[in-house]
Amino acid sequence: MKLTILGCHSATPSIHSNPTAQILEIKNHMFLIDCGEGTQVELRRNKVKFSRIRHIFISHLHGDHYFGLVGLVNTFNLLTREAELHIYAPKGLKEVILLQMKLSGSWTNYPLVFHELSSNTSELIYEDDKVEVFTIPLKHRVYTNGFLFKEKENERKLDINLVTEANINKAYFRKLKQGFDVENDDGVLISNEKVTKDPLPSKSYAFCSDTVYNEAIIPIIKNCTVLYHESTFLDKNESLCIPTKHSTAKQAATIAKKANVNTLILGHYSTRYNGYDEFKSEAQTVFDNVLLSQDGKTFNFE
Ligand SMILES: [Zn+2]
Ligand SMILES: [Zn+2]
């Protein structure tokens, strides 16, 4: 699992800071999460192949999370894209994008599929044989969802020497990987544990931006591998959290601790601050394993 931060700041884009957008590589997917202004440029800077993006997840309709979308949708067309593009976003986004395209006389040659979200409870919005994606309802000034990306349980690993020794026919390898006992060529039942090893633990990524401190998300993100939680403010500006419905670094760390996640990544920093070290040190008073997101930074979780 690999996460590339294209932008991790709140509010307006500047020379040194981009609004929210991330690429999550999980199994064979390349998911784009949020699409703030400038995302296309950052995709190019980070050498992301546009054609590999098939699914885009938009948390909410504040501009710093989707103002780059109509441009990207148009660029896909100019690049003669043919593959379907699926966009998961709050209800209303389809109207916005289609109106922008209509008034500019634009269209797409590829199927553009909107999945509009309006539920206030967590729901499964994407699934295939390797991955599932759930919404994480957040509390913000407008309707907002985070997203939980989960690898499905991995297959058991064959020990090829033991399998050969046990005289098991290749035709049964698939069943072994799925955890079944199988008969060998001599008709003897071979127990699965004798010839396979435990699978790699499956990984998960929870994206939570933007939100006020909200313990209701804890059961949804419990024990996840990596949590990205917004930390717009430092402690000294905590009084701004309630009116703006954002969080501090320490509040993000409290959620990480209570949800027993492995790693916390902070981001969505207010541009009022000069550096980010204080976000980390304040969070680490509550939770140890804290990473700072930074535009153009890639995190590998193997
Ligand atoms: Zn924001
Ligand atoms: Zn917002």
| 185 and 247 part of one domain | no
pLDDT in tens for each of the 302 residues of the chain?
Answer: 999 999 999 877 788 889 999 999 999 999 999 999 999 999 999 999 999 999 999 999 999 999 999 999 999 999 999 999 999 999 999 999 999 999 999 999 999 999 999 999 999 999 999 999 999 999 999 999 999 999 998 889 999 999 999 999 999 999 999 999 999 999 999 999 999 999 888 999 999 999 999 999 999 999 999 999 999 999 999 999 999 999 999 999 999 999 999 999 999 999 899 899 999 999 999 999 999 999 999 999 98
Instruction: Judge residue 230's burial from the number of C-beta atoms within 10 Å of its C-beta, 0-12 exposed, 13-18 middle, 19 or more buried.
Output: buried
Q: Is 55 known as a binding-site position? A: no
Cα angle value 295/215/230 (rounded, 5°): 10
Residues 212 and 246: their CA atoms lie apart, in Å, by 4
Number of structural domains found in the chain:
2
Please, are residues 141 and 162 in contact by the beta-carbon 8 Å criterion? no
Same domain for 73 and 138, yes or no, is yes
Residue that is written with structure tokens 């390797």 in the block: 130
29 known ligand binder: no
Tokens of 110: 């590829």
Q: Is 62 marked as a binding-site residue?
A: yes
Residues in the chain: 302
CB 89 within 8 A of CB 116: yes
Cis peptide before 210 (omega within 30 of 0): yes
Q: Is 186 designated active site?
A: no
**Terminal CA-CA length for the chain:** 6
Catalytic residue among 64, 277, 288, 295: 64
d(CA 225, ligand 2 centre) in Å: 25
My answer on whether 173 and 54 are in the same domain is: no
Q: Domain check: are 209 and 281 in the same one?
A: yes
The phi, psi pair for 235, rounded to 5°, reads -50, -40
Is residue 172 located within the same domain as residue 281? no
Q: How many CB atoms lie within 10 A of CB 239?
A: 8
Domain around 53: 2-154+200-300
Residues 142 and 228 in one domain: yes
What are residue 25's DSSP bridge partners? 2, 30
